């Protein structure tokens, strides 16, 4: 977690750690899902797993979060459908996802042709000259806390990553729903 500011909240640090990890894998990657667990609790209850994750005896605040990547997200199912099938065990205090998407600036909204279906709209956006590729990392905790990180492909630098709790509200809602009974 070399580029993560220590003054940030544990959730912000976890989101930036995941963003840094995804950045190291390069672009054009599939979506990745992470469980967030309390680092101190992980060290106490699962010392072998903590050691495997490189969390040995290094000093850590008791409120630190450790992201644990889950199995691959199936590509044959819509992301929101897949997220609707997830149930987390009690030891998981939050979850996060990183996805890549194409986005347009707000000024392009007026240019969108009427009557396009979802697939047609995706093709239209992919051909638009102002499109930008973005990697979104979104995390939620059981208690409702949220954080997001956005990285544009054209500004692919740790110093250019935007963070905030409300950057990707729809995806945050879908993740929060994975904790509902």
Q: Give 10-residue mean pLDDT values along the chain (181 residues).
A: 62 94 94 92 74 62 79 86 90 95 81 81 82 94 95 90 92 93 73
Q: What radius of gyration do the chain's Cα atoms show?
A: 17
Q: What is the pLDDT of residue 145?
A: 95
**How far is 27 from 143, CA to CA, in rounded Å?**
32
Q: What is the pLDDT of residue 61?
A: 46
Q: What is the pLDDT of residue 56?
A: 60
Place of tokens 């630190």: 64
State the pTM of this model.
0.83
**How far is 47 from 45, CA to CA, in rounded Å?**
6
What SS3 state is found at 144? coil
* DSSP type of residue 110: G
**How far is 86 from 75, CA to CA, in rounded Å?**
15
Q: What is the pLDDT of residue 1?
A: 45
């Amino acid at each position: 977690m070399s580029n993560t500011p220590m003054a940030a909240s544990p959730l912000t640090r976890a989101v930036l750690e995941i963003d840094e990890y995804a950045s190291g894998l390069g672009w054009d990657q599939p979506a990745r899902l992470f469980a967030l667990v309390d680092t101190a609790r992980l060290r106490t209850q699962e010392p072998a797993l903590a050691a495997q994750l490189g969390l040995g005896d290094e000093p850590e605040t008791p409120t630190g979060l450790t992201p644990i990547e889950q199995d691959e997200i199936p590509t044959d199912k819509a992301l929101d459908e897949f997220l609707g099938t997830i149930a987390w065990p009690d030891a998981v205090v939050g979850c996060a996802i990183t996805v890549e998407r194409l986005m347009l600036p707000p000024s392009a909204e007026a240019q969108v042709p009427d009557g396009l279906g979802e697939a047609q709209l995706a093709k239209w956006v992919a051909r638009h000259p102002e499109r930008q590729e973005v990697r979104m990392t979104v995390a939620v905790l059981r208690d409702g806390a949220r954080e997001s990180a956005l990285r544009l492909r054209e500004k692919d630098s740790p110093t250019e990553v935007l963070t905030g709790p409300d950057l990707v509200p729809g995806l945050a809602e879908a993740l929060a729903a994975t904790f509902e009974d």
